[in-house]
Structure 1
Amino acid sequence: MQVKPGTSWQDAYDRCCEGAPEAFHHDRVLNHWGGFWQRDGRPAPVFSPVDGTAIAGPPRLDRAGAARAVAGAVEEHRRWRHVPLEERKARVSAAVESMAAHRDLLALLLVWEIGKPWKTARADVDRCLDGVRWYVEEIDRMAAGRAPLPGPVSNIASWNYPMSVLMHAMLVQALAGNAVIAKTPTDGGLCCLTLACALAVREGLPFTLVSGSGAELSPVLVAGRSLGCVSFVGGRDAGGNVAGSLSDLDRRHVLEQEGLNCWGVWEYSGWELLSRQIRASFDYGKQRCTAYPRFVVQRSLFHEFLGAYLEAVGSLRFGHPLAVAHPGDPLPELDFGPLINASKAKELADQVDEAVARGAVPLHRASVESGNFLPGQDISAYFAPVALLDPPRSSPLHHAEPFGPVDSFVLVDTEAELLAAMNASNGALVATLSCDEEDTYRRLAPDVRAFKVGHNRPRSRGDREELFGGLGASWRGAFVGGELLVRAATQGPDGERLPGNFPGYTLIP
Structure 2
Amino acid sequence: MTDDLIAAIPTGLLIDGEWRPAVSGRHLGVEDPATGKTLAQVADAGAEDVDAALAAAVDAQADWAATTPRFRAELLRSAYDAVVANREKFATVISREMGKPLAEARTEVDYGADFLRWFGEETTRVGGRYQAAPDGNGRILTTAAPVGPCLLITPWNFPLAMLTRKVAPAIAAGCTMVVKPASLTPLTALLLAEVLNGLGLPRGVLNVITSSSASTVSQRLMHDRRLRKVSFTGSTPVGRTLLRLASDNIVRSSMELGGNAPFLVFADADLDRAVDGAVVAKMRNNGQSCVAANRFYVHRSIAVEFTDRLVTRLEALRFGPGTEPVDAGPLADEAQRDTVHTLVRAAVAGGAALRTGGEPDTGPGYFYPPTVLTSVPPDSPVLHNEIFGPVAPVVPFDTEDEAVSLANESEFGLAAYLFTENLDRALRLVDRLQVGMVGVNQGVVSNAAAPFGGVKASGLGREGGSEGIREYLDVRYAAISSPLGRP
Length-normalised TM-score, structure 2: 0.88
Q: Which residue of 360, 364, 368 maps to 1:378?
A: 364
Q: How does 1:389-468 map to 2 (within 5 A)?
A: 389-392=374-377, 395-464=380-449, 466-468=450-452
Q: How does 1:14-413 map to 2 (within 5 A)?
A: 14-16=7-9, 24=10, 29-40=11-22, 41=24, 42-143=26-127, 146-188=143-185, 190-205=186-201, 206-212=205-211, 213-281=213-281, 282-323=283-324, 332=325, 334-365=326-357, 378-379=364-365, 381-392=366-377, 395-413=380-398
1:405–1:83: structure 2 CA closer, same or farther, 3 Å change rule?
A: same
- Post-superposition CA distance 1:181-206 (Å, at most 9, x none): 11021221x12111110121222321
**Secondary structure at the residue paired with 1:404?**
coil
Contact 1:431 1:458 in 2 (8 A): no
In structure 2, distance between residues paired with 1:269 and 1:69: 53
Count, aligned residues: 458
Query: Shift in Å at residue 150 of structure 1?
Result: 4.1
In structure 2, distance between residues paired with 1:47 and 1:293: 27
1:137–1:47: structure 2 CA closer, same or farther, 3 Å change rule?
A: closer
- Post-superposition CA distance 1:379-407 (Å, at most 9, x none): 3x111011122444554312121111011
Q: Which moved more, 1:413-422 or 1:229-238?
A: 413-422
In structure 2, distance between residues paired with 1:193 and 1:173: 15
Structure 1 unaligned residues grouped into runs of 5+: 1-5, 17-23, 324-331, 370-375, 496-509
Q: How does 1:467-478 map to 2 (within 5 A)?
A: 467-476=451-460, 478=461
Contact 1:124 1:164 in 2 (8 A): yes
Contact 1:275 1:309 in 2 (8 A): yes
Contact 1:260 1:401 in 2 (8 A): yes
Contact 2:119 2:168 in 1 (8 A): no
In structure 2, distance between residues paired with 1:103 and 1:458: 24
Query: Shift in Å at residue 257 of structure 1?
Result: 0.6
Query: Shift in Å at residue 44 of structure 1?
Result: 2.0
Match of 1:13 in 2: 6
Counterpart code for 1:309: L
- Post-superposition CA distance 1:342-387 (Å, at most 9, x none): 2211221122112211222212226666xxxxxx9613x1110111
Query: Shift in Å at residue 170 of structure 1?
Result: 0.4
Query: Shift in Å at residue 179 of structure 1?
Result: 0.8
Q: Which residue of 453, 463, 468 maps to 1:480?
A: 463
Contact 2:280 2:444 in 1 (8 A): no
Contact 1:58 1:211 in 2 (8 A): yes
Contact 1:146 1:490 in 2 (8 A): no
Q: Which moved more, 1:381-390 or 1:243-252?
A: 243-252
Match of 2:472 in 1: 489
Query: Shift in Å at residue 142 of structure 1?
Result: 2.9
1:209–1:53: structure 2 CA closer, same or farther, 3 Å change rule?
A: same
1:428–1:57: structure 2 CA closer, same or farther, 3 Å change rule?
A: farther
1:112–1:492: structure 2 CA closer, same or farther, 3 Å change rule?
A: same
Contact 2:397 2:403 in 1 (8 A): yes
Contact 2:346 2:381 in 1 (8 A): no
1:306–1:245: structure 2 CA closer, same or farther, 3 Å change rule?
A: same
Structure 2 unaligned residues grouped into runs of 5+: 129-141, 479-487
Match of 2:482 in 1: none
1:437–1:385: structure 2 CA closer, same or farther, 3 Å change rule?
A: same
| Greater Rg by CA | 2
Query: Shift in Å at residue 113 of structure 1?
Result: 0.6
- Post-superposition CA distance 1:406-439 (Å, at most 9, x none): 1112222233321121112233221122223222
Query: Shift in Å at residue 459 of structure 1?
Result: 4.1
**Secondary structure at the residue paired with 2:463?**
coil
In structure 2, distance between residues paired with 1:180 and 1:59: 18
1:223–1:403: structure 2 CA closer, same or farther, 3 Å change rule?
A: farther
1:125–1:444: structure 2 CA closer, same or farther, 3 Å change rule?
A: closer
1:410–1:307: structure 2 CA closer, same or farther, 3 Å change rule?
A: same
In structure 2, distance between residues paired with 1:249 and 1:436: 50
In structure 1, distance between residues paired with 2:217 and 2:360: 37
The sequence identity of aligned pairs, in percent, is: 27
In structure 2, distance between residues paired with 1:426 and 1:181: 31
- What's the RMSD between the two structures over aligned residues? 2.2
**Secondary structure at the residue paired with 1:225?**
coil
In structure 2, distance between residues paired with 1:139 and 1:66: 29
**Secondary structure at the residue paired with 1:322?**
coil
Counterpart code for 1:389: T
- Post-superposition CA distance 1:129-156 (Å, at most 9, x none): 2332233233212356644434212101
1:86–1:294: structure 2 CA closer, same or farther, 3 Å change rule?
A: same
In structure 1, distance between residues paired with 2:37 and 2:459: 36
Contact 1:149 1:229 in 2 (8 A): no
**Secondary structure at the residue paired with 2:126?**
helix
**Secondary structure at the residue paired with 1:142?**
coil
In structure 1, distance between residues paired with 2:466 and 2:269: 38
Counterpart code for 1:319: G
Contact 1:428 1:471 in 2 (8 A): yes
Counterpart code for 2:332: I
Counterpart code for 2:368: F
Contact 1:431 1:459 in 2 (8 A): no
**Secondary structure at the residue paired with 2:124?**
helix
**Secondary structure at the residue paired with 1:418?**
helix
In structure 1, distance between residues paired with 2:302 and 2:98: 38
Contact 1:234 1:258 in 2 (8 A): yes
